[in-house]
């Protein structure tokens, strides 16, 4: 089945086609909501961020410079909305610049009993700049160049952050995986 491209849908939205907006919303709501919910760890804040993203699409569609990169544009807006929420929460608090982790709280025994929950818990403890690249790469399948365009960094910085995040997560999970394999 032939689907309308993002570029075509954007062009229709710019000409006032409400059906095109609805189609685009249905196409990206799940991915954007999941990204924001995982980045923020708060479903209500994620809902607000995605809502704002689509309102911006509705009002600023004519100013999108690269219609072919609409997916990156949507993730960029959603990310910025989410980061504003995170900055508001932190209220100026600064962590260790060298560390990959945002929260060093030890993981609970319940989390350790379930690898999935443990990974989820470890992911939520990563610093936001590491968490966002993992989310965009592993869950949304964005390329390094696309992630760089969303985060405003270089592709080599994205590469390096992904590597550091993976190494930190792998290190954290080492014990759990070993225990799990020993149990079997």
Binding residues for other proteins, rule: CB under 8 A, are: 16, 18, 21-22, 25, 29-30, 33-34, 37-38, 43, 46-47, 50-51, 54-55, 58-59, 115-116, 119-120, 134, 137-139, 143-144, 159-160, 162-163, 166-167, 169-170, 173-174, 177
In whole angstroms, how close is the CB of 2 to other proteins at the nearest point? 25
Q: Which is nearer to other proteins, 90 or 108 (CB)?
A: 108
Q: Which is nearer to other proteins, 25 or 101 (CB)?
A: 25
Q: Which is nearer to other proteins, 15 or 91 (CB)?
A: 15
In whole angstroms, how close is the CB of 152 to other proteins at the nearest point? 20
In whole angstroms, how close is the CB of 80 to other proteins at the nearest point? 18
Q: Does the CA dihedral 60-87-115-180 come out positive or negative?
A: positive
Q: How many CB atoms lie within 10 A of CB 159?
A: 15
In whole angstroms, how close is the CB of 184 to other proteins at the nearest point? 14
Q: Which is nearer to other proteins, 47 or 129 (CB)?
A: 47
Q: Which is nearer to other proteins, 32 or 69 (CB)?
A: 32
| Dihedral-angle region of residue 141 (phi above 0 means left; psi in -120 to 50 means alpha; beta otherwise) | left
In whole angstroms, how close is the CB of 136 to other proteins at the nearest point? 11
């Amino acid at each position: 089945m032939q689907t309308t491209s993002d570029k075509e849908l954007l062009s229709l939205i710019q000409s006032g086609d409400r059906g095109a907006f609805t189609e685009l919303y249905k196409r990206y709501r799940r991915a954007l909501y999941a990204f924001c919910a995982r980045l923020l760890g708060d479903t209500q804040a994620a809902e607000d961020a995605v809502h704002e993203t689509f309102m911006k699409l509705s009002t600023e569609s004519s100013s999108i410079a690269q219609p072919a990169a609409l997916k990156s544009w949507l993730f960029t807006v959603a990310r910025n909305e989410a980061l504003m929420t995170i900055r508001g929460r932190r209220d100026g608090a600064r962590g260790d610049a060298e560390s990959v982790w945002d929260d060093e709280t030890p993981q609970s025994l319940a989390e350790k009993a379930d690898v999935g929950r443990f990974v989820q818990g470890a992911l939520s403890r990563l610093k936001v700049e590491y968490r966002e690249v993992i989310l965009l790469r592993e869950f949304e399948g964005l390329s390094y160049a696309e992630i760089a365009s969303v985060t405003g960094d270089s592709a080599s910085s994205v590469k390096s952050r992904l590597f550091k995040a993976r190494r930190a997560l792998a290190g954290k999970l080492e014990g759990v995986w070993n225990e799990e394999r020993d149990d079997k």
